[in-house]
Amino acid sequence: MQRLATRIVDKPWGRKGIDPRFHVDPKRQVGEIWFEPPADRPLDVMVKYLFTTERLSVQVHPDDIAAHERGHARGKDECWIILDADKDAELGIGTVRDLSPDEVMAAARDGSIVDLIDWRRPRAGDFIYNPAGTIHAIGPGLTVLEIQQAIDLTYRLYDYGRPRKLHPEEAVDVVRAMPHHHALDTHVGEQSRVLVGGPHFGVAWCAGAAPELPLLIRDVQLLPIDAPVGELKPGECALIDSGTARSLTSEGRFVLAWSTETRGS
């Protein structure tokens, strides 16, 4: 087991007084907690926590093909496990109807893109898969565990007047503006199961013990949620080998995330 270093990222939309398990100064306005890969071992999968009090930007990520064309190592599929949700929490994914590229550009310019997002009321335990090309915006009142392809590659369409760069031209070339319906979306419940099996990464929700895992998994990351797993505590993350992953047990719940990509792809 190799613990990964924690990186705390303050954000204007973040939250003060996050769960004590993260051992963060309660005065800090924390938006994200990342786990750094070892210096000598790059990882294809990134796992992080998000803590929100405001709407994040309306954005989209490119897929592998578009990212490669623009000189990036990979695109960005991601998924979310909602760990906690206030009664007024919201999350936007997909659009309320199909939009043409011209409609997306015009709506991004005048801000009406916000009203075209499909805003939902998520609840703790919801699992949502967000494939590259999908318009989305995480809203306030959420604690989210995000698993994604390991790249910081985001095209912002609209950001509520915040002084950050927007990327409408880049976004319009990769966006698929349509209602979001994904076969992997579910509610995790109290049963261990594999939530994602590829093509870029795998994710398992584990209640007490790991489910049966695929044969070919690599760079497995372990994240205890509400009880320790061995010496690893909630709020921490560690790299483990595939054999260890298959035999893990806990008095609580934990998440496993791993790469399914062929090295160099």
Closest CA to 180 of 246, 253, 245, 122: 122
Q: Is 118 helix (H, G, I), strand (E, B) or coil?
A: strand
Per domain, the residue ranges of the chain are 2-187, 193-259
What pLDDT digit, counting tens, does each position of 2-16 carry?
999 999 999 999 999
Q: Which two tokens stand for residue 199?
A: 């093509």
pLDDT at 175 over 50: yes
Long-range Cβ contact pairs of 36-44 (< 8 A, separation 24 or more): 36/4, 36/5, 36/6, 36/7, 37/4, 37/150, 38/2, 38/4, 38/239, 41/219, 41/239, 42/150, 43/150, 43/219, 43/221, 43/259, 44/74, 44/149, 44/150, 44/200, 44/201, 44/219, 44/259, 44/261
Q: Is 150 helix (H, G, I), strand (E, B) or coil?
A: coil
Closest CA to 62 of 161, 183, 158, 151: 151
Q: Could you tell me which residue, 196 or 40, shows the higher pLDDT?
A: 196
Task: Give the pLDDT of residue 265.
Answer: 44
β-strands 5-15, 30-36: how paired?
Answer: antiparallel
3-state helix, strand, coil in the chain (%, to 5): 10, 40, 45
Backbone angles phi and psi of 49, in degrees to 5: -100, 145
For the chain, what is the mean pLDDT?
Answer: 95
- % of residues, the chain, pLDDT over 70: 98
Distance CA 61, CA 183 (A): 19
List of residues 6+ apart from 60 with CB closer than 8 A: 132, 133, 134, 135, 136, 154, 155, 157, 171, 174, 175
Mean pLDDT of all residues in 101-107: 93
What pLDDT digit, counting tens, does each position of 239-249 carry?
999 999 999 99
Find the catalytic residue in 15, 55, 74, 156. 156
Amino acid type, 210: A
Task: Give the pLDDT of residue 163.
Answer: 86
Instruction: Give the pLDDT band of residue 263 (cuts 50, 70, 90).
Output: low
Mean pLDDT of all residues in 168-183: 93
CATH number of the 2-187 domain = 2.60.120.10
Distance CA 56, CA 20 (A): 24
pLDDT at 79 over 80: yes
Closest CA to 108 of 60, 44, 55, 45: 60
pLDDT at 103 over 60: yes
In the Cβ-directed half-sphere of 239, how many Cα atoms lie within 13 Å?
Answer: 18
What pLDDT digit, counting tens, does each position of 209-228 carry?
999 999 889 999 999 999 99
Strand partners, 222: 238, 256
156 is catalytic: yes
